[in-house]
Each structure stands twice: as structure tokens, then as C-alpha cells.
């Protein structure tokens, strides 16, 4: 067997069968297609909820409370770190 025959056999082993290629391309086509009425996560079918004041106020209130909680927890964490360091320094001094 000469070099060209070996290379040809290697190349033919890398090429998929026609049926496999057809199934693969068909699957990709089906999965990539979608209907125009699909709604994805993060999207809304209608935009009316954006203009409703009550949900917007609730969202703002929630955001402010979340920021306060994060700030409080950060302050508490710093206080605990300081207490721990102060305690360690006192123990080392004694």
C-alpha cells in the first residue's frame, strides 16, 4: 500500500456517512428554528406591566431594602472582623 492509498483511507475515515450528515444538518435546522410567537426568559409578551406604578414601586422598595441589608451585613462583618482582631491582639499582649 503506497502513501496515497493510506492518506485516502485516512481521509475517508474522517468523513461521516451521508445519512449521518443529513440527520445532523436536519437536527441543527430544527433546533435553530423557532416560531415568531415564542417568548424567551426575560422578555414579556406585552409591555403593559412596565407602565404599572404599583409593581415599579414594589421593585424600587425591594431594591432599596436589599441595598440596606447588604450595607448592614457589610458593617456587621467589619465589626466582627475588628472584634476578632482586637481579641487576638489582647490575647497576644497578655
Specify whether the CB–CB gap between 45 and 39 falls below 8 A: yes
- CA-CA distance, 23 to 30, in Å (whole number)? 10
The answer to pTM > 0.85 is no
Highest mean pLDDT among 17-26, 44-53, 75-84: 17-26
Cell reading at 19: 445519512
Question: What are the boundaries of each domain within the chain?
Answer: 1-33, 47-87
Residue scoring higher pLDDT (68 or 92): 68
Amino acid at each position: 500500500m503506497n502513501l496515497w492509498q493510506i492518506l485516502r483511507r485516512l481521509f475517508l475515515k474522517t468523513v461521516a456517512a451521508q445519512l449521518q450528515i443529513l440527520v445532523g444538518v436536519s437536527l441543527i435546522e430544527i433546533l435553530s428554528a423557532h416560531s415568531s410567537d415564542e417568548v424567551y426568559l426575560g422578555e414579556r409578551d406585552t409591555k403593559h406591566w412596565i407602565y404599572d406604578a404599583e409593581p415599579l414601586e414594589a421593585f424600587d422598595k425591594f431594591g432599596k431594602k436589599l441595598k440596606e441589608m447588604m450595607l448592614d451585613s457589610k458593617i456587621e462583618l467589619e465589626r466582627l472582623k475588628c472584634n476578632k482582631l482586637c481579641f487576638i491582639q489582647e490575647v497576644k499582649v497578655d
